[in-house]
Amino acid sequence: MMPPSTARRLCFLSLLLLLLLLAAAASATADAAAAEEFTEELLLRPLPDRKALAHFHFRSSAPPASAAGRHHHLFPKAISQLVQKFHISELELSFTQGRWNYEQWGGYDPMSTNNAKPPGVELWAIFDLPLAEIDATWKNLTHTLSGLFCASINFLESSTAFSAPRWGFKLNEGNLRYGALPREAVCTENLTPWLKLLPCRDKAGIASLLYRPSVYKGYYHSQKLKLKSSQSLGIILDQTLTVVLQPNTVSGKQLHSTGGQLQPSWSMEHLFSKKLSGKCLVSKSSRVFVEIEKGIVDNVDKAGSDVSSNNDLFVLSTAPDRSLKELDNLEVQSSSLYEYDVNNYNSDKPLNVGITWKLPLIWSCTRAPYHASRFLMGSGNERGSIAMSFLSTGLDKQLVDSSNDCSIKAVVFQVVPWYVKVYYHSLEVFIDGNSKAISEVVDKIHVTPSEDKLLPGTMEMLLKFPCSMQLATLTLDFDKGFLHIDEYPPDANQGFDIPSALVSFPEFNSSRSYPEADPLFVSPLLENFKEDGVVKSYTEVLLVPLTTPDFSMPYNVITFTCTVLALYFGSLLNALRRRIGEEERGLKKAGILNKRGLIPLLIAKLRGQKVDPSESESTSPASLPRSKLLLKVVFVAVVAIVFHYLSNS
């Protein structure tokens, strides 16, 4: 038996040890949980055509599963379960309504490269699985996403809806799948679950600005979910919402004293009917940026003043906390960003960033080297052509090369549904109006031809255009197919969509780097800007009218009924009124039955007279009809050969 004092001491020590262990465990879990981060950012930018762009960026990141286990306190569990179940290494899902106006809103900056998406739903995913299992996993993924985001993404499950590009979209080893639904509607029901993935939802922080009628009244809105998962870095989830709005302000319609029209002065309240009253409390950082582009900066420099938040051309309503200037290769200042830290604002002193213009100003955004557009040619319901045009926008290639070897590369990726049967051999290229041989322009081409009801037609092409070119056109012929009655959608008379084609320019890089003043913290938005991004643009969606059966019930009823009645009454009258014996005697008298030629026989039959060959009295020799027959056969053969020859030449 131990003395009571040592027993007490032992008890005390063991208790202390236990407490220490618990504390260590708690701190370990706290460390792991603290590694989950959430940041929110908003970027506002005035656009040259009197509109404003608002770009919301939310990033959630979770550490690798092995370190943190299955508990999350900021990261949405639905996404981590999705990544684990389907072994996703990269995924991007975008819901877009409207078309990005490349002429006015730019095509060269990271915003348009990353956030200009084709209308409808676009989904692509890279899986970390053996190639044989990817199609089945893709099918399950589309169903899960359709339940998660209230959209009919499950229509991408069948093999007729998705494709597996190797290098036209993104270089991969066959584990990428791409699908798009151009006609998918995007509305509040898609935004609701998207917002529920954020820790503060739309109740606090930057997401509280999202007044739904404003967002859906815009000219373009695109919500995107991008996730990257790896064993070392865990899962990084980027949710972005890009909206182009028209500020409805009175001042915008005023004429300035100099005669020009001022750009509309707007603020967050004009755009969203709300002010920002504080950040999301669990976010690591919460910032608002106002981007003043190169075009405006150049004008300010020309006017002779310093590019600050208050200058001769414009003034920002609130003084920014910081301003960042982008430095391009030549150390010449291009665009500048004004940063506001939402931490400094709360519900008593809300943040309402705005811009007021002092002088009328016209500027333009930098565009991609070619403006790519696509359209249909031909008429009728049997065949047509898809044409793609590349119009030079005057962007000189950086390495100005006056030699003849200067060329600009363009990669074209296009998926066409099976009922538009494209003949890839009919590809023709015209450069500045002159037809060129395919081998001169097309460097590399990979085609997966469509199979009826099984596969869409995929085309990946690498083109090389001479730098001096103004306009290039590519044309492809197609035949329109027939669908089964069950395959027609309810509004079949509207037509069928061919999803947007993607045109990228691999030699042009749209990255922008801003010097980061705070070395401890990198803004995810600026990080995305700094990433190497190839300049790319999406073409229009094409609407192809196909032959449809006449679905109208009354017409079908009338046609069937009339046919049946005609057959019935015709046969009845025939049976009642026709005297066959009399007809034959009449024919014999007329001598028509004596003729033995095939054509007279046919004519006699058409006239409704019965002909009985056994009764005919033919006096002509047997050889004459045979030679006549031979002559006729030879004649037809000669005509056919001539026609074939003429049509092929």
Partner 1 sequence: MSLIPRAAPAASMAFAGRDPAVISLLKMLPLLLLLTFSSAAAPPAAASPSAVHNNNWAVLVCTSRFWFNYRHMANTLSLYRTVKRLGIPDERIILMLADDMACNPRNNYPAQVFNNENHQLNLYGDNVEVDYRGYEVTVENFLRVLTGRHESAVPRSKRLLSDEGSHILLYMTGHGGDEFLKFQDNEELQSHDLADAVKQMKEKHRFKELLIMVDTCQAATLFSQLQSPGVLAIGSSMKGENSYSHHLDSDIGVSVVDRFTFHTLAFFEKLNMYSNASLNSLFNSYDPSMLLSTAYYRMDLYKRALNEVMERYIYF
List interacting residues with partner 1 (CB under 8 A).
97, 139-140, 143-144, 146-148, 150-152, 154-155, 157, 184-189, 192-193, 202, 212-213, 215-217, 489-491, 551
Shortest distance, position 492 Cβ to partner 1, whole Å: 9
- CB nearer to partner 1: pick between 119 and 165: 119
Nearest CA to 428 among 470, 482, 472, 384? 472
- CB nearer to partner 1: pick between 193 and 545: 193
- CB nearer to partner 1: pick between 196 and 628: 196
- CB nearer to partner 1: pick between 29 and 81: 81
Shortest distance, position 137 Cβ to partner 1, whole Å: 10
Residue-wise DSSP of 209-224: G--HHHHHTSSEEEEE
Interatomic CA distance for residues 393 and 401, integer angstroms? 17
- CB nearer to partner 1: pick between 168 and 199: 199
Shortest distance, position 245 Cβ to partner 1, whole Å: 12
- CB nearer to partner 1: pick between 348 and 491: 491
Q: Kindly tell me the sign of the dihedral angle through the C-alpha atoms of 81, 87, 88, 93.
A: negative
Total residues belonging to the chain: 649
Interatomic CA distance for residues 41 and 529, integer angstroms? 13
Shortest distance, position 144 Cβ to partner 1, whole Å: 5
Residue 596 burial class via C-beta count within 10 angstroms: exposed 0-12, middle 13-18, buried 19 and up: middle
- CB nearer to partner 1: pick between 190 and 523: 190
Shortest distance, position 483 Cβ to partner 1, whole Å: 14
- CB nearer to partner 1: pick between 551 and 635: 551
Shortest distance, position 121 Cβ to partner 1, whole Å: 11
Structure tokens given for 40: 């929110």
Structure tokens given for 548: 């449809």
Q: CA 271, 273, 276: angle at the middle one, nearest 5?
A: 90
Shortest distance, position 88 Cβ to partner 1, whole Å: 16
- CB nearer to partner 1: pick between 208 and 414: 208
Shortest distance, position 160 Cβ to partner 1, whole Å: 14
Interatomic CA distance for residues 269 and 263, integer angstroms? 17
Shortest distance, position 349 Cβ to partner 1, whole Å: 26
Structure tokens given for 377: 């040619």
Structure tokens given for 565: 């009645």
Reduced to 3 states (helix: H, G, I; strand: E, B; else coil), residue 160 is coil
Reduced to 3 states (helix: H, G, I; strand: E, B; else coil), residue 233 is coil
Residue 264 burial class via C-beta count within 10 angstroms: exposed 0-12, middle 13-18, buried 19 and up: buried
Nearest CA to 217 among 44, 43, 94, 52? 52
Interatomic CA distance for residues 198 and 223, integer angstroms? 13
- CB nearer to partner 1: pick between 89 and 154: 154
- CB nearer to partner 1: pick between 378 and 495: 495
- Cα–Cα distances in angstroms (integers) from residue 135 to residues 89, 130, 131, 138, 209, in the given order: 15, 10, 8, 5, 39
- CB nearer to partner 1: pick between 179 and 234: 179
**408: which strand partners?**
465
Shortest distance, position 154 Cβ to partner 1, whole Å: 8
Shortest distance, position 457 Cβ to partner 1, whole Å: 22
Shortest distance, position 97 Cβ to partner 1, whole Å: 7
- CB nearer to partner 1: pick between 152 and 389: 152
Shortest distance, position 38 Cβ to partner 1, whole Å: 21
Q: What's at 9, amino acid-wise?
A: R
- CB nearer to partner 1: pick between 135 and 321: 135
To the nearest 10°, the Cα dihedral for 275, 280, 285, 287? Answer: -10
Shortest distance, position 155 Cβ to partner 1, whole Å: 7
Shortest distance, position 499 Cβ to partner 1, whole Å: 16
**90: which strand partners?**
126, 228
Q: What's at 427, amino acid-wise?
A: L
Residue-wise DSSP of 300-369: HHHTT---SSB-SSEEESS--SEEEEEE-TTS-EEEEEEEEEGGG--SSS-B--EEEESS---------S
Interatomic CA distance for residues 231 and 67, integer angstroms? 10
The 10 Å CB-count burial string (b at 16+, else e) for 616-635 is: eeeeeeeeeeeeeeeeeeee
- CB nearer to partner 1: pick between 468 and 494: 494
Q: At 626, phi and psi to the nearest 5?
A: -65, -40
Residue 7 burial class via C-beta count within 10 angstroms: exposed 0-12, middle 13-18, buried 19 and up: exposed
